[in-house]
């Protein structure tokens, strides 16, 4: 099967160094394999969205020469596909409605584990929908982080597919769209390693193939905090593509090709790309300004 990779940013701010690392690594991996690279905007949480940031992220990638093979897929337009997936899980008894308040969940140890709601149905109020998580371990081999195993029921319990306010869960949307986009390998930060068993479980319950997984070290600041909008990570400077790409390549343990043209630099980096230096590393200090 031909390789298909993706980068799936949330439009909650401009592209910063940590997200550039994930974008570039997935692009290099796809180009090295001679495969396709796709974009997906995970805009399913309007309250957290920063207006204009989806367009800004896509424009920055384009200016850096990290180009996609198809127009970006927007999750905000995928509600019908998520509804169909939820209906399928409801039809086979794998999803159940939940009317629990935060307080009720707190009393139950913050997790649902019995495959049914612990609160009474409330007339006229939309429920959340949860997955009835079976008693089983999910195991997979991560390309960089090695063998992984999680009992989803013990770790997170019956997790949410659709919130009571009507918003779709990240887990359901991600799984449905990785299937829809035909993704063969997911390359992303190790902060999402913990979500992967839930996603593999959902793939199995929805009859979708499970892609390979490669979880990269997360870029952290001097204090060990993940670079994010919350830590005021500065946006990537797209006016100097060579410097931005060189910084991300160094973070990824790759040699920086000594060519002036950013496009030629990206091609050479893709030819040579080997993620082996990152094996077993879940976080690494970001130093985007170091000289190349
Ligand atoms: Zn409940």
- In the reported structure, the alpha carbon of residue 119 is separated from the centroid of ligand 1 by a whole-number distance in angstroms of 5
- In the reported structure, the alpha carbon of residue 161 is separated from the centroid of ligand 1 by a whole-number distance in angstroms of 12
- 283 backbone dihedrals φ, ψ, rounded to 5°: -150, 155
Q: Who contacts 118 (Cβ-Cβ below 8 Å, separation ≥6)?
A: 100, 104, 108, 112
Domain count along the chain:
2
Residues 70, 186, single domain; the answer is yes
Beta-strand relationship, 36-41 and 73-74:
parallel
Residues 146, 266, single domain; the answer is no
Domain-embedded: residue 290:
no
Residues 193, 274, single domain; the answer is yes
Rounded mean pLDDT, 60-69: 96
| Residue carrying the six token digits 């993620």 | 275
Q: Which domain holds residue 273?
A: 4-78+181-285
- In the reported structure, the alpha carbon of residue 126 is separated from the centroid of ligand 1 by a whole-number distance in angstroms of 12
Mapped onto helix, strand or coil, the DSSP state of residue 65 is coil
**Helices in 100-223 by DSSP H: which ranges?**
102-107, 152-155, 170-180, 196-205
Residue 121 CB coordination number (10 Å): 10
Domain-embedded: residue 217:
yes
Residues 72, 90, single domain; the answer is no
- In the reported structure, the alpha carbon of residue 116 is separated from the centroid of ligand 1 by a whole-number distance in angstroms of 7
Q: Measured between alpha carbons, how far is 123 from 255 in angstroms, rounded to an integer? A: 61
Residues 66, 90, single domain; the answer is no
Q: Measured between alpha carbons, how far is 257 from 181 in angstroms, rounded to an integer? A: 31
pLDDT at residue 232 is higher than 80: no
DSSP structure class, residue 226: B
Residues 15, 92, single domain; the answer is no
Contact 195, 42 (CB under 8 A): no
Contact 49, 86 (CB under 8 A): no
Q: Measured between alpha carbons, how far is 233 from 226 in angstroms, rounded to an integer? A: 9
Q: Measured between alpha carbons, how far is 134 from 126 in angstroms, rounded to an integer? A: 25
Residues 49, 194, single domain; the answer is yes
Which residues is 215 bridged to in the sheet?
188
- In the reported structure, the alpha carbon of residue 121 is separated from the centroid of ligand 1 by a whole-number distance in angstroms of 9
DSSP structure class, residue 86: H
Of 171, 194, 214, at which residue does a domain stop?
171
Predicted model pTM: 0.94
Domain-embedded: residue 176:
no
Domain-embedded: residue 272:
yes
Handedness of CA 108, 110, 112, 118 (dihedral sign): positive
Residues 155, 193, single domain; the answer is no
> H-helix or E-strand containing 241?
helix 241-251
CATH number at residue 91: 3.90.800.10
Q: Measured between alpha carbons, how far is 185 from 211 in angstroms, rounded to an integer? A: 5
Of 123, 147, 171, at which residue does a domain stop?
171
Residues 213, 275, single domain; the answer is yes
Q: Measured between alpha carbons, how far is 241 from 263 in angstroms, rounded to an integer? A: 9
Q: What is the pLDDT of residue 253?
A: 97
Contact 18, 219 (CB under 8 A): yes
Q: What is the pLDDT of residue 184?
A: 98
Domain-embedded: residue 291:
no
The span from the first CA to the last CA of the chain, in angstroms, equals: 37
CATH number at residue 10: 3.40.50.620
122 or 105, which is more confident? 122
Domain-embedded: residue 292:
no
Rounded mean pLDDT, 108-122: 78
Residues 188, 275, single domain; the answer is yes
Residues 68, 186, single domain; the answer is yes
- In the reported structure, the alpha carbon of residue 123 is separated from the centroid of ligand 1 by a whole-number distance in angstroms of 14
- In the reported structure, the alpha carbon of residue 150 is separated from the centroid of ligand 1 by a whole-number distance in angstroms of 23
Domain-embedded: residue 227:
yes
Please state which of the ranges 45-54, 99-108, 136-145, 160-169 shows the lowest mean pLDDT. Answer: 99-108
Residues 56, 102, single domain; the answer is no
Q: Measured between alpha carbons, how far is 45 from 75 in angstroms, rounded to an integer? A: 10
Q: What pLDDT band is residue 227 in, cutting at 50, 70 and 90?
A: confident
Question: Taking all residues of the chain, what is their mean pLDDT, rounded to a whole number?
Answer: 93
Of 136, 171, 206, at which residue does a domain stop?
171
- In the reported structure, the alpha carbon of residue 201 is separated from the centroid of ligand 1 by a whole-number distance in angstroms of 20
Please state which of the ranges 22-31, 170-179, 277-286 shows the lowest mean pLDDT. Answer: 277-286
């Amino acid at each position: 099967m031909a390789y298909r990779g993706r980068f799936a940013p949330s439009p909650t701010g401009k592209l910063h160094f940590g997200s550039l690392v994930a974008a570039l690594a997935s692009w290099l991996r796809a180009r090295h394999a001679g495969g396709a690279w796709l974009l997906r905007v995970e805009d399913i949480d309007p309250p957290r969205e920063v207006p204009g940031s989806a367009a800004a992220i896509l424009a920055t990638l384009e200016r850096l020469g990290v180009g996609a093979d198809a127009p970006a897929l927007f999750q905000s337009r995928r509600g019908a596909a998520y509804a169909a997936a939820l209906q399928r899980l409801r039809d086979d008894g794998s999803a159940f409605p939940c009317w629990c308040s935060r307080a009720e969940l707190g009393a139950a140890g913050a997790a649902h584990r019995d495959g049914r709601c612990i609160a009474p149905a409330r007339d006229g109020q939309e429920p959340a929908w949860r997955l009835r998580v079976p008693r089983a371990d999910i195991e997979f081999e991560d390309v960089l982080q090695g063998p992984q195993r999680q009992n989803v029921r013990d770790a997170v319990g019956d997790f949410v597919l659709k919130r009571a306010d009507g918003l779709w869960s990240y887990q359901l949307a991600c799984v449905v769209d990785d299937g829809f986009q035909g993704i063969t390998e997911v390359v992303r930060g190790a902060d999402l390693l913990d979500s992967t068993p839930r996603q593999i479980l959902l793939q199995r319950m929805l009859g979708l193939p499970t892609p390979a997984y490669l979880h990269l070290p997360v870029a952290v600041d001097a204090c060990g905090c993940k670079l994010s909008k919350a830590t005021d990570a500065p946006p990537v400077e797209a006016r100097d593509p060579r410097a931005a790409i060189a910084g991300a390549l160094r973070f990824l343990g790759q040699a920086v090709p000594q060519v002036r043209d950013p496009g030629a630099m990206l091609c050479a980096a893709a030819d040579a790309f080997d993620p082996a230096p990152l094996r077993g590393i879940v976080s690494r200090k970001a130093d985007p300004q170091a000289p190349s």
